[in-house]
Amino acid sequence: MSAHPVSIDDPGKVVLLMGNEAIARGAVEAGVSVAASYPGTPASEIGDTLGRVAEKAGLHFEWSSNEKVAFEVAFGASMCGQRSIVSMKHVGLNVALDILNLVSLRGVKGGLVFVSADDPSQHSSGQEQDNRWLAKENCVPVLEPSTPQDAKDITRYAFELSEKVRLPVMVRTVTRLSHMRSDVALGPINRQQRKAEFDWEGFSYRVAGFPKLFYREKELNEKLDLVRDEFEKLDFNELKLNGDEKFGIIGAGFSFSYAIDAIRKLGVEDKTAYLNLASSHPLPERLVGRLLKGIDELLIAEEVDPFVELHVRALAKDVNPDLKIYGRMSGHLPREGELSPIILGDTLASLLGMNRPCEPRLELEDKAHSMLFDRMLTLCAGCPHRGTLFALKEAVIEVKGNLRGVVVNGDIGCYGLGHAPPISFEDTYFCMGASIGVSQGMAQVGVDSIAFIGDGTFFHAGIPALINAVYNQHDIKVVVADNQIIAMTGFQPHPGSGRTAMGKPTKRIMLEDIAKACGVDHVEVVDAYDLDEAKEAFVRMLKAKGVAIVIARRICATEAMRAMRPNRPVPYTVNPELCVGCRICMTTFGCPALIWTDEEERAVIDNTQCMGCGVCSQLCPQGAIGKVEAA
Binding site for ligand TPP (CB under 6 A): 38-40, 89, 91-92, 95, 412-415, 432, 454-457, 483, 485-489
Nearest-approach distance from CB 423 to ligand TPP, in angstroms: 14
Q: Based on CB atoms, which residue is closest to ligand TPP, 312 or 436?
A: 436
User: Which helix (H) or strand (E) covers residue 231, if one does?
Assistant: helix 216-232
| Residue number, 283 or 486, with CB nearest to ligand TPP | 486
Residue least distant from ligand TPP (Cβ)? 454
CA distance 279 to 228: 9
Tell how many helices (H) and how many strands (E) occur in the chain.
Answer: 24, 23
- C-beta of 386: minimal distance to ligand TPP in Å? 11
With respect to ligand TPP, which residue has the nearer C-beta, 69 or 287? Answer: 69
What is the closest distance, in whole angstroms, from the C-beta atom of residue 385 to ligand TPP in the complex? 6
Which one, 291 or 485, has the nearer CB to ligand TPP? 485
The phi and psi torsions of 28 (rounded to 5 degrees) equal -65, -45
By beta-carbon proximity to ligand TPP, the closer residue of 163 and 455 is 455
* Distance in Å, CB of 106 to ligand TPP, minimum: 24
Give the separation between CA 510 and CA 524, rounded to whole angstroms. Answer: 12
- Cβ closest to ligand TPP, residue 288 vs residue 591: 591
- The helix (run of H) or strand (run of E) holding residue 239 is strand 238-240
- Give CA–CA dist 110/190, Å, rounded: 14
In the bound complex, what is the minimum distance in angstroms from residue 341's beta carbon to ligand TPP? Answer: 28
Cβ proximity to ligand TPP, 278 vs 391, nearer residue: 391
Please say whether the beta carbons of 144 and 17 come within 8 A. no
Q: List, as one string, the DSSP characters of 188-211.
A: ----PPPPP---HHHH-HHHH---
C-alpha distances (whole Å) from 484 to each of 32, 356, 383, 552, 613 are 30, 51, 12, 10, 16
Is the distance from CB of 604 to CB of 597 less than 8 angstroms? yes
> Smallest distance from the beta carbon of 50 to ligand TPP, in angstroms?
17
Q: Tell me the C-alpha distance between 587 and 619, whole Å.
A: 12
Residue 280: φ, ψ to 5°: -90, -15
CB of 389 to ligand TPP, least distance (A): 11
* Nearest CA-CA partner of 535 in 382, 384, 390: 390
Residue type present at position 614: G
- Minimum CB separation from ligand TPP for residue 563, in Å? 16
* DSSP H or E stretch at residue 249: strand 247-252
Alpha-helix residue ranges (DSSP H) falling in 496-530: 511-517
Pairing of strands 625-627, 14-18: unpaired
Q: Which is nearer to ligand TPP, 252 or 412 (CB)?
A: 412
What's the min distance (Å) between Cβ of 283 and ligand TPP?
29
Minimum CB separation of residue 302 from ligand TPP in Å reads 24
Q: Tell me how far apart the alpha carbons of residues 260 and 273 are, in angstroms, rounded to a whole number.
A: 11
Q: Of 295 and 480, which CB lies nearer to ligand TPP in the complex structure?
A: 480
CB 309 → ligand TPP: shortest distance, Å? 28
Based on its alpha-carbon atoms, the radius of gyration of the chain, rounded to whole angstroms, reads 27
Count of Cβ atoms closer than 10 Å to residue 94 Cβ: 17
Shortest CB 533 distance to ligand TPP, Å: 20
Nearer to ligand TPP, 89 or 311 (CB): 89
* Measured distance CA(181)–CA(20) in Å, rounded: 9
Task: Pick between residue 79 and residue 99 the one whose CB is nearest to ligand TPP.
Answer: 99
Tell the smallest beta-carbon distance from residue 570 to ligand TPP (Å): 27
The answer to whether 117 touches 89, Cβ cutoff 8 Å, is: yes
Cβ 416 to ligand TPP shortest distance, Å: 8
Backbone angles phi, psi at 480, to 5 degrees: -105, 115
Collect contacts of 229-233 with beta carbons under 8 A, ≥24 apart.
230/161, 230/164, 230/165, 231/141, 231/279, 231/282, 231/283, 231/284, 231/287, 232/284, 232/286, 232/287
> How far apart, in whole angstroms, are the C-alpha atoms of residue 208 and residue 583?
73
Q: Of 127 and 444, which CB lies nearer to ligand TPP in the complex structure? A: 127
Other CB atoms within a 10 A radius of the CB of residue 368 amount to 9
* Amino acid (1-letter code) at residue 138: N
In the bound state with ligand TPP, the residue whose beta carbon lies nearer, of 184 and 551, is 551
DSSP labels, 58-82: T-EEEE-SSHHHHHHHHHHHHHTT-
Residue whose CB is less far from ligand TPP, 432 or 548: 432
Residue type (1 letter), 479? V
